[in-house]
Amino acid sequence: MSTGTHLARVRTFHPRRGRMNGRHADALARLWPRWGVAIPEVPTARLDLAGLFGRRAPVVLEIGSGMGEATIAMASADPARDYLAVDVHTPGVASLLAVVEERGLTNVRVGLGDAITLLRHMLVPESLAAVHAFFPDPWPKSRHHKRRLFQPDHVALLRSRLAPGGLLRCATDWAEYAEVMLETLSADSGLANEHDGYAPRLAARPVTKFEQRGVEAGREIFDLAFRRR
Ligand SMILES: C[S@@+](CC[C@H](N)C(=O)[O-])C[C@H]1O[C@@H](n2cnc3c(N)ncnc32)[C@H](O)[C@@H]1O
């Protein structure tokens, strides 16, 4: 078994407990079998995206969907594409499932687990039309930088799963991390910056509670958009 290599990896998240209200617990129990995607620590099978969504449409992966506000807004406005939102935080996943049902969205599926594991072991190269990562955890302390999502090996993995011409969109409210993201993405020769430096705010991206907290704390918001060559 190769579990050692899987389990020893540095994670980009802190496992956290979260309380679920009754509505969310109910949504998880009812809707997970329909729209949930389990991401085991050691996946043994590839994910069949066409089978998952019941059609062959371009797929957008959102990494760290949190409470799912961006997923809901963007998937509702973009019915021709399918959205796979992934987070490790169960209450957020439950909340997203509840809203997907409430809005009658058919183009959203929700993964629970580590998006890096999903990308590396469950998605084949060139299978995604876009990857979104909005407000990835900034891990501000230097000793935690190794946990960041945006580092060269993760970026190479993300890029490899994008189809040629596919778009990687991200945003952060952490200025120093924004610079690192810009440098790391620019250094990947398989990606081309869509703009000269940072991107204008993506109009379809709603202000999440997380972003709002950053704005209220006086932080600037940085968007980035890179296309796979
Ligand atoms: C700062 S929050 C931002 C949430 C949301 N995108 C927003 O803008 O409100 C970052 C989220 O990324 C999730 N996360 C971090 N690393 C992850 C990983 N490897 N796989 C899945 N989710 C991850 C965390 O659990 C957290 O919910």
Q: Could you list the residue range(s) of the whole structural domain that residue 76 is in? A: 18-228
Domain containing 49 — which CATH number?
3.40.50.150
Q: How far is the CA of 30 from the centre of ligand 1 (A)?
A: 24
Find the range with the poorest average confidence among 15-24, 107-116, 151-160.
15-24
Among 137, 155, 181, 221, which residue has the most ligand 1 atoms within 8 Å of its CB, making it the best to mutate? 137
Residue 8 has a pLDDT of 59
Closest ligand 1 atom, CA of 111? Answer: 21
Instruction: Examine residue 106 and state whether it is found in any structural domain, yes or no.
Output: yes
Q: Give the pLDDT confidence of 111-124 residue by residue, as tens digits.
A: 999 999 999 999 99
Among 10, 16, 87, which residue has the most ligand 1 atoms within 8 Å of its CB, making it the best to mutate? 87
Q: Give the pLDDT confidence of 163-222 residue by residue, as tens digits.
A: 999 999 999 999 999 999 999 999 999 999 999 999 999 999 999 999 999 999 999 999
Q: Give the pLDDT confidence of 119-157 residue by residue, as tens digits.
A: 999 999 999 999 999 999 999 999 999 999 999 999 999
pLDDT for 1 beyond 80 = no
Instruction: Examine residue 6 and state whether it is found in any structural domain, yes or no.
Output: no
Instruction: Examine residue 4 and state whether it is found in any structural domain, yes or no.
Output: no
pTM of this prediction exceeds 0.75: yes
Q: How far is the CA of 14 from the centre of ligand 1 (A)?
A: 10
pLDDT for 2 beyond 50 = no
d(CA 40, CA 37): 10
Number of Cβ atoms within 10 Å of the Cβ of 171: 25
Instruction: Examine residue 168 and state whether it is found in any structural domain, yes or no.
Output: yes
Closest ligand 1 atom, CA of 62? Answer: 6
**Active-site annotation holds for 137:** yes
- Percent of the chain predicted with pLDDT > 90: 92
Q: How confident is the model at residue 15 (pLDDT cuts 50, 70, 90)?
A: confident
Instruction: Examine residue 146 and state whether it is found in any structural domain, yes or no.
Output: yes
Residue 143 has a pLDDT of 95
Paired tokens of 136: 């990835």
Residue 45 has a pLDDT of 96
Say whether 53 counts as a known binding-site residue. Answer: no
Q: How confident is the model at residue 64 (pLDDT cuts 50, 70, 90)?
A: very high
Q: How confident is the model at residue 7 (pLDDT cuts 50, 70, 90)?
A: low
Instruction: Examine residue 3 and state whether it is found in any structural domain, yes or no.
Output: no
- Residue ID of nearest Cα to ligand 1 atom 3: 135
Say whether 210 counts as a known binding-site residue. Answer: yes
Residue 114 Cβ < 6 Å to ligand 1: yes
Number of domains comprising the chain = 1
Instruction: Examine residue 9 and state whether it is found in any structural domain, yes or no.
Output: no
Closest ligand 1 atom, CA of 92? Answer: 27
Find the range with the poorest average confidence among 14-18, 23-27, 59-63, 192-196.
14-18
Residue 4 has a pLDDT of 46
Instruction: Examine residue 64 and state whether it is found in any structural domain, yes or no.
Output: yes
Residue 116 Cβ < 6 Å to ligand 1: yes
Residue 3 has a pLDDT of 44
Residue 127 has a pLDDT of 98
Q: Give the pLDDT confidence of 88-106 residue by residue, as tens digits.
A: 999 999 999 999 999 999 9
